[in-house]
Structure 1
Amino acid sequence: MKNKPNDTWLHQPTNGVWKSYTIAEVIDEGSRVANNLLKQGIEPGDRVAILAKNSYAWLAADFGMMLAGIIPVPIYSTASSETIDYVLEHSEAKLCFVGKLDDCSAAQASLASIPVITLPDANAEYTGAQDWQSILDTSTPLDSYHSPKAGDMATIVYTSGSTGKPKGVVLTHGHLGAAAVETKNRMVGGDELHRIMSYLPLAHITERSVVAITSIYGKVELFFSEGLETFVDELHHCQPTDFISVPRLWAKFQAKVLAQIPDEQLQEMLAGDGGDAVAAAIRDKLGFGSCGNYGSGSAPISPALLEWFHRIGVDIAEGWGMTETSGLACSNQPFTVEGMGTIGTPLACNEMKLSDEGEVLIRGEAIFEEYYKNPTATAESFAEGWFRTGDKGVKDKNGAYRITGRVKEQFKTAKGKYVAPVPIESRLATNSLIEQVCVLGSGRPAPMAIVVLNDQGLSKEQIKTNLEKTLSDVNQQLESHARLDRIAISETTWDVENDLLTPTMKLKRDKIEAFYRSSIDSEAESGVYWIAQ
Structure 2
Amino acid sequence: MELSMENFIKTPIQMLSHWVETQGDQVYLRQPIEGKFKNLTWREVQQQVHKIAGALRHLGLAPGDKVALLSKNCAEWFIADLALMQGGYISVPIYPTANTETIRYVLEHSGAKAIFVGKLDHWSEQEEAIGGDLLRLAMPYETMPSQYQWDQLLNLGSPLVEAPTTKPDDVMTLIYTSGSTGKPKGVIQTFASYGWTCEAVVRDLRTNTQDSLLSYLPLAHITERVAVEGSSFLSGSTVSFVESLDTFVADVKRAKPTVFFSVPRLWTLFHLNIINKIGASRLKLLLRIPIVSSIVKHKIQKELGLEHCRLLGSGSAPIPASLIQWYHNLGMDICEAWGMTENCAYSIINYPFDANKIGSVGRPVEGCLVRRGNDGELLLKTPGLMTGYYLQEEATKAAFDDDSYFRTGDICEIDADGCISITGRVKDNFKTSKGKYVAPVPIERKLAQDSHIELICVIGSGLPHPVALVQLSEGASLQAREEVRTSIKATLDAVNPHLESHEHVDAVVVVKEPWTIENDVLTPTLKIKRHVLEKAFSEKVDGVRGAQVRWEDEL
TM-score band (shorter)?
over 0.9
Which whole-Å CA distance do the structure 2 matches of 1:470 and 1:525 have between them? 14
Residue identity in the other structure for 1:317 = C
> Match for residue 409 of structure 1?
428
CA contact (8 A) 2:459 2:538 kept: no
CA contact (8 A) 2:363 2:418 kept: yes
Which whole-Å CA distance do the structure 1 matches of 2:95 and 2:203 have between them? 29
Which whole-Å CA distance do the structure 2 matches of 1:83 and 1:460 have between them? 38
> Match for residue 500 of structure 1?
521
Q: Of 363, 366, 386, which aligns to 1:348? A: 366
> Match for residue 119 of structure 1?
139
> Match for residue 488 of structure 2?
467
Which whole-Å CA distance do the structure 1 matches of 2:165 and 2:228 have between them? 21
Structure 1 unaligned blocks of 5 or more: none
2:302 paired with 1:284? yes
> Match for residue 513 of structure 1?
534
Q: Of 106, 119, 122, which aligns to 1:87? A: 106
Residue identity in the other structure for 1:255 = L
> Match for residue 31 of structure 1?
50
Which whole-Å CA distance do the structure 1 matches of 2:171 and 2:305 have between them? 39
Residue identity in the other structure for 1:380 = A
Residue identity in the other structure for 1:371 = Y
Residues 262-291 of structure 1 deviation map (CA, whole Å, 9 limit, x = unaligned): 111101110112212211111111111111
> Match for residue 327 of structure 2?
309
> Match for residue 300 of structure 1?
318
> Match for residue 221 of structure 1?
238
The CA deviation at 1:18 is: 1.5
In structure 2, relative to structure 1, the CA distance for the partners of 1:125 and 1:154 (3 Å cut) is same
Which whole-Å CA distance do the structure 1 matches of 2:449 and 2:410 have between them? 22
> Match for residue 6 of structure 2?
none
Find the residue that maps to 1:327 and give its secondary structure: coil
CA contact (8 A) 2:259 2:309 kept: yes
Which whole-Å CA distance do the structure 2 matches of 1:480 and 1:517 have between them? 20
CA contact (8 A) 1:33 1:135 kept: yes
The CA deviation at 1:15 is: 2.2
Find the residue that maps to 1:487 and give its secondary structure: strand
> Match for residue 134 of structure 1?
152
Q: Of 278, 289, 292, which aligns to 1:261? A: 278
Residues 282-327 of structure 1 deviation map (CA, whole Å, 9 limit, x = unaligned): 1111111111210000110000101111111110000011111012
2:450 paired with 1:431? yes
Find the residue that maps to 1:451 and give its secondary structure: strand
> Match for residue 4 of structure 2?
none
Which whole-Å CA distance do the structure 2 matches of 1:165 and 1:180 have between them? 28
Comparing 44-53 and 3-12, the one that deviates more: 3-12
> Match for residue 360 of structure 1?
378
Residue identity in the other structure for 1:239 = K
> Match for residue 212 of structure 1?
229
In structure 2, relative to structure 1, the CA distance for the partners of 1:171 and 1:79 (3 Å cut) is same
The CA deviation at 1:365 is: 1.0
Which whole-Å CA distance do the structure 2 matches of 1:263 and 1:140 have between them? 61
Q: Give TM-score scaled by structure 2 length.
A: 0.93
Which whole-Å CA distance do the structure 2 matches of 1:523 and 1:475 have between them? 16
> Match for residue 478 of structure 1?
499
CA contact (8 A) 1:188 1:214 kept: no
Which whole-Å CA distance do the structure 1 matches of 2:26 and 2:500 have between them? 58
Q: CA RMSD in A?
A: 1.5
2:349 paired with 1:331? yes
CA contact (8 A) 2:492 2:547 kept: no
Comparing 327-336 and 295-304, the one that deviates more: 327-336
2:410 paired with 1:391? yes
Which whole-Å CA distance do the structure 1 matches of 2:534 and 2:24 have between them? 51
Which whole-Å CA distance do the structure 2 matches of 1:213 and 1:132 have between them? 23
CA contact (8 A) 2:117 2:143 kept: no
Residues 180-224 of structure 1 deviation map (CA, whole Å, 9 limit, x = unaligned): 1111112234x5611121100000011011223322221411111
Residue identity in the other structure for 1:187 = L
Q: Of 450, 453, 461, which aligns to 2:472? A: 453
CA contact (8 A) 1:183 1:347 kept: no
Find the residue that maps to 2:217 and give its secondary structure: coil
In structure 2, relative to structure 1, the CA distance for the partners of 1:192 and 1:157 (3 Å cut) is closer
Comparing 147-156 and 103-112, the one that deviates more: 103-112
Find the residue that maps to 1:290 and give its secondary structure: coil
The CA deviation at 1:525 is: 8.5
> Match for residue 336 of structure 2?
318
2:177 paired with 1:159? yes
The CA deviation at 1:30 is: 2.0
Identical aligned residues as a percent: 39
CA contact (8 A) 1:98 1:122 kept: no
CA contact (8 A) 1:344 1:400 kept: yes
Which whole-Å CA distance do the structure 2 matches of 1:357 and 1:518 have between them? 31
Which whole-Å CA distance do the structure 1 matches of 2:255 and 2:392 have between them? 42
Which whole-Å CA distance do the structure 2 matches of 1:143 and 1:227 have between them? 34
Q: Give TM-score scaled by structure 1 length.
A: 0.97
Find the residue that maps to 1:83 and give its secondary structure: helix
Find the residue that maps to 1:408 and give its secondary structure: coil
CA contact (8 A) 1:391 1:403 kept: yes
> Match for residue 211 of structure 2?
194
CA contact (8 A) 1:349 1:366 kept: no
Residues 118-163 of structure 1 deviation map (CA, whole Å, 9 limit, x = unaligned): 111243324xx21111111334321301221111111111111101
Aligned pairs, number: 530
Which whole-Å CA distance do the structure 1 matches of 2:163 and 2:209 have between them? 30
CA contact (8 A) 1:31 1:64 kept: yes
Which whole-Å CA distance do the structure 2 matches of 1:42 and 1:123 have between them? 23
Matches within 5 A, 1:57-72: 57-72=76-91
> Match for residue 232 of structure 1?
249
Which whole-Å CA distance do the structure 2 matches of 1:81 and 1:198 have between them? 25
In structure 2, relative to structure 1, the CA distance for the partners of 1:396 and 1:525 (3 Å cut) is closer
